Structure 1
Amino acid sequence: MIKGIFRKSVLATALFGTTAIFSAVAIAGQAPESASAKDIPISSHDRVYLSDQSSNTVSVFDPATESLLGVIRLGDPTPGNLSPLYKGQLLVHGMGFSPDHATLDVVSIGSNSVTFIDTATNRVKHTTYVGRSPHEAFFTPDGKEVWVTIRGEDYIQVLDGKTYEPTKKIMVPNGPGMTIFSPDGKYGYVVSSFTPDMVVIDTKSHKIVGHVKQASPFSPDLAATPDGGQVWLTLKDIGKTQVINAHPPFNTLAVLDTGPITNHVNIARNANGQFAYVTVGGLNEVKVFTTTDKPKLVATIPVGALPHGLWPSGDGTRIYVGLENGNGVAIIDTLNNKVTGTVASGQSPQGMVYVPNAVPVGAGTENLLPLANVGSAIKLTMGPSGSQQVSTTVSINNQGLLDLMQVAVTGIEPKKPYMLALSTQPDGAGSLEPLAKFVGNPAGAAIISTLGPLRKAVDKDLPADATQRRYLVIAKLTSEGKPEEVVQVQH
């Protein structure tokens, strides 16, 4: 069981390789709060939420018992969601919560919606429909507004923080990915997923007051340090993380090589100091950095298949990591940077938030459904032929009549064409049945999805001589789009 840790004063030394970090005062205040906020010890009043994109659910965890309490169903699995969506949500993805911790907001990309959920009862209390492909939504620190990044267009949709109705649009560079606010509420920092231009917005005037050149066009996520000094943004396409000064002139302090499919970043503060945690999906790791002007890598933590969203506990002693291809949440003890456990979740978790005191009284299990088939999946790995090196993770999610396969590929050539296919032979010899074509990103990685009756074909428990047995392979394509060399096979 996780126990909360709250120290009023501490003299701690943490040694990571050759780097030593010293702290002589209490470290308090967890993201997205300011450093002056009080730490909140972990308890069963708190909740961890994951947005499950493939099952269209929200997984709800009790961090004190490290257990899944159930899921909130917002939509149907495939193929039911391929018909007109008169009700229900599709591609449940982004998350945020109100400053009073009473309301969870959940963004669904496919149905262009923001769903507002009462954290005490798990009841959907409102749904607001917005523009094309929203990605993330966060309340301003004063709770008066909700800013929704409309990634499929070029603006932030501002909603009223109480009625959840649209009030105005803030025009920004094309493809805004996410907004996070400075702890004092003065600035909103907005990264772009299509344009190498991050903007800083004054929250009172809604005017752009600063620009930062992103090191690449594709940033999906960012975090502000509780001490108010820095903003960290991930660059998924090139496998880097950029650190900027949170104050004018908003200059870049560092660009760090973090690894292929660099996903999300968040900040945890504990007795050892203040640290940035970055999920690196292509390496199945979380990397930990100091938040000094010249950040240093202090830990690399193996966590499981395709880590995506992450969030610290209210006291900073734990950080929770959603495993997109692992259908679960990994729990990291931030004092020693070790994984203490993993708990199953819904399918393909994306966003993640930790909400302290989400359930002030009662059990908080109303309106929750059991995981059941929502968590059912086959998990595989792939790599170079003749090697057990894991370059690619695969999750085949049970959707009932069909299966939704997601493949996180690394170890390929940037900007070269490839094909995911089925073969009757483990080494990929003979003719191939194509499943999807794709191109490696600048970091030599890709995330691809395909749909079909796939479980029975590639299940590793099938006998090798079964007539229906197939093996996943990845093959290079010629300029004419024909398969040539097989570069990765199913383990």
Structure 2
Amino acid sequence: MRIISNRIAISAILALCVVAGTAHADPPAEPQGPPGELYLPEVQSNTVAVIDTATDTITERIPTGPATKPGVLTATPDGRKVYVDNFGFTPPSVTVIDRPSNTTRSVPVESPPLGIFTSNDGREIFIPEIGYVIEVLDVATDTIVRRFHYPDLPSGRIPDIPAGAIQGPDGLLYVGFMQSGMVEAIDPITGNVVRPPLIVGGIGTFWYTFSKDGSKLYANSINTISVIDLRNWRVAKLIHTGEDHDYHLSNPGAFVSTLTPDGSKLYVTMFGGTDVLIVDTAKDEVIGRIPTTGASTAVMFSADGTRGYISDMGPSSNAYPGPILDPLLFGNLVTAGIGLTPGQVIVFDPRTDQIVGDPIPVNVGPGVPVWLPSLK
């Protein structure tokens, strides 16, 4: 009996130890992200934050220069150079970050850029600017080699500010215009118009994305995402940004859109509102939303598609609701930044659209980032 009693006592003590150990065990760690770096412009601090996406931590901040106001990034296909669209007015410039040497240089441009985009072959950078011009920068020499001036237009056509200049899968340069909201396609070498201006159903057409099969173009404008049939060069459908999917004047503006690596979903950020819209590209319908605390500027994905990164301006941006105040928010972002507070980067899993871990705190005015694999 004494042996049995001792065994019962020992078993009870071991059970208590297991329970106690379980009670004090650390919670399981969040799964590690893909190895690589997210380069994120921080407008108000004139810096580009470098985030290690394996650990979701900021490893350094790269200065772009006083009053540069870095807002949009693009990169060469090999990931060795990052080009920074600086919204600053004095003097207007593009910053080039050389990753292997971790150095920067400034390239002067005619007027403040509104976007910056890499050509399909990676040899050139297209820079639409507020001064009615698109400048073309040669990656090998980091010099401007061509300019397309939009006051130099056929008789009777009103000059318009090019806000986007993105090369399509057909090799044409698709240009979106700020004032009219129209989109046209030009020859990227000569500047000759190949596809005439198309009214897309909104204004401020700053960003657009091509479907993976190259048959459609999704154009973002205030209130609306326009689905353009490229073969027939017509608007096939309008996707509205409101929660009920109908058109309302108060709907937030569609800002930047990004396609998942497999092409099945399009993620669209909102200005003048919160959340990121998820669009099914087979049906061209909104199928979900990812919550944000304020206006979001962009979504970027890791190359393997396992992580998405949302640049969220934070609650202070909610003081500018709807499309009427959308331009005021943008103007404040790229100038004084009055009343704006630090933002964050939200990490999510595109396979489930669920947020992963805690947001990464960043400086005021997170812009449009790029994700790049680590340099070997």
Same-fold status (TM-score > 0.5): yes
Letter in 2 for 1:297: V
What is residue 346 of structure 1 aligned with on the other side?
363
What is residue 234 of structure 2 aligned with on the other side?
251
Higher share in helix: 2
What is residue 62 of structure 1 aligned with on the other side?
52
Letter in 2 for 1:310: V
What is residue 308 of structure 1 aligned with on the other side?
297
- Provide Cα deviations, 1:17-39, integer angstroms capped at 9, x if missing partner: xxxxxxxxxxxxxxxxxxxxxxx
What is residue 71 of structure 2 aligned with on the other side?
93
- Percent identity between the aligned chains? 24
Residue 194 (str. 1) matches residue 179 (str. 2): yes
What is residue 207 of structure 2 aligned with on the other side?
221
What is residue 142 of structure 1 aligned with on the other side?
121
SS state at 2:261 partner: strand
Q: How far apart in 2 are the matches of 1:99 and 1:250?
A: 29
Q: How far apart in 1 are the matches of 2:253 and 2:201?
A: 15
Q: 1:231 aligns with which of 211, 217, 236?
A: 217
What is residue 131 of structure 1 aligned with on the other side?
110
Q: How far apart in 2 are the matches of 1:327 and 1:333?
A: 20
What is residue 263 of structure 1 aligned with on the other side?
255
SS state at 2:114 partner: strand
Deviation (angstroms), 1:346 = 2.1
Q: How far apart in 2 are the matches of 1:343 and 1:313?
A: 16
Deviation (angstroms), 1:320 = 1.0
SS state at 2:272 partner: helix
Deviation (angstroms), 1:204 = 4.5
Contact 2:261 2:303 survives alignment (8 Å): no
SS state at 2:191 partner: coil
Deviation (angstroms), 1:97 = 0.7
Residue 120 (str. 1) matches residue 100 (str. 2): yes
Deviation (angstroms), 1:205 = 4.0
What is residue 334 of structure 1 aligned with on the other side?
350
Letter in 1 for 2:140: K
Q: 1:51 aligns with which of 18, 21, 41?
A: 41
SS state at 1:349 partner: coil
SS state at 2:367 partner: strand
Structure 1 residues 344 and 122: alpha-carbon distance in aligned structure 2, compared to 1, 3 A threshold: farther
Higher share in strand: 1
Q: How far apart in 2 are the matches of 1:129 and 1:249?
A: 39
SS state at 1:263 partner: strand
SS state at 1:54 partner: helix
Letter in 1 for 2:345: V
Q: How far apart in 2 are the matches of 1:56 and 1:301?
A: 28
What is residue 25 of structure 2 aligned with on the other side?
none
Q: How far apart in 2 are the matches of 1:229 and 1:312?
A: 22
Deviation (angstroms), 1:121 = 4.0
SS state at 1:120 partner: coil
The runs of 5 or more residues in structure 2 that have no matched partner are 1-29, 151-158, 242-250, 315-341
Contact 1:153 1:174 survives alignment (8 Å): no
Residue 170 (str. 1) matches residue 148 (str. 2): yes
- Provide Cα deviations, 1:68-123, integer angstroms capped at 9, x if missing partner: 11211123xxxxxxxxxxxx342211211112211000011114111110123432
What is residue 26 of structure 2 aligned with on the other side?
none
- Provide Cα deviations, 1:323-345, integer angstroms capped at 9, x if missing partner: 12351111121111111131011
TM (norm. structure 2) is 0.74
Q: How far apart in 1 are the matches of 2:259 and 2:344?
A: 21
SS state at 2:204 partner: coil
Deviation (angstroms), 1:267 = 0.5
Letter in 1 for 2:367: Q
Deviation (angstroms), 1:301 = 1.2
Q: How far apart in 2 are the matches of 1:226 and 1:58?
A: 29
Contact 2:268 2:298 survives alignment (8 Å): no
Deviation (angstroms), 1:207 = 2.3
Contact 2:115 2:164 survives alignment (8 Å): yes
Contact 1:139 1:145 survives alignment (8 Å): yes
Letter in 2 for 1:123: T
Q: How far apart in 1 are the matches of 2:100 and 2:294?
A: 31
- Provide Cα deviations, 1:378-401, integer angstroms capped at 9, x if missing partner: xxxxxxxxxxxxxxxxxxxxxxxx
Residue 240 (str. 1) matches residue 246 (str. 2): no
Residue 109 (str. 1) matches residue 109 (str. 2): no
- The aligned runs of 1:397-436 (5 Å cut-off) are none
Q: 2:194 aligns with which of 209, 213, 225?
A: 209
Contact 2:181 2:221 survives alignment (8 Å): no
Query: Aligned residues, how many?
Result: 299
Residue 324 (str. 1) matches residue 310 (str. 2): no
Q: How far apart in 2 are the matches of 1:299 and 1:104?
A: 32
What is residue 156 of structure 2 aligned with on the other side?
none
Q: How far apart in 1 are the matches of 2:114 and 2:73?
A: 9
Letter in 2 for 1:281: F
Q: How far apart in 1 are the matches of 2:202 and 2:349?
A: 32
CA RMSD of aligned residues (A): 2.0
Deviation (angstroms), 1:240 = 1.4
Residue 277 (str. 1) matches residue 267 (str. 2): yes
Q: How far apart in 2 are the matches of 1:276 and 1:171?
A: 32
Q: How far apart in 1 are the matches of 2:45 and 2:86?
A: 12
SS state at 1:269 partner: coil
Contact 1:89 1:113 survives alignment (8 Å): no
Deviation (angstroms), 1:360 = 2.0
Deviation (angstroms), 1:352 = 1.6
Letter in 1 for 2:224: K
- Provide Cα deviations, 1:204-263, integer angstroms capped at 9, x if missing partner: 443221122131221222222333222212113xx2111212x34322122111141322
- Provide Cα deviations, 1:141-197, integer angstroms capped at 9, x if missing partner: 2122211011x222211111211111111234521112222246x122221112232
Q: How far apart in 2 are the matches of 1:228 and 1:248?
A: 9
Deviation (angstroms), 1:132 = 1.9
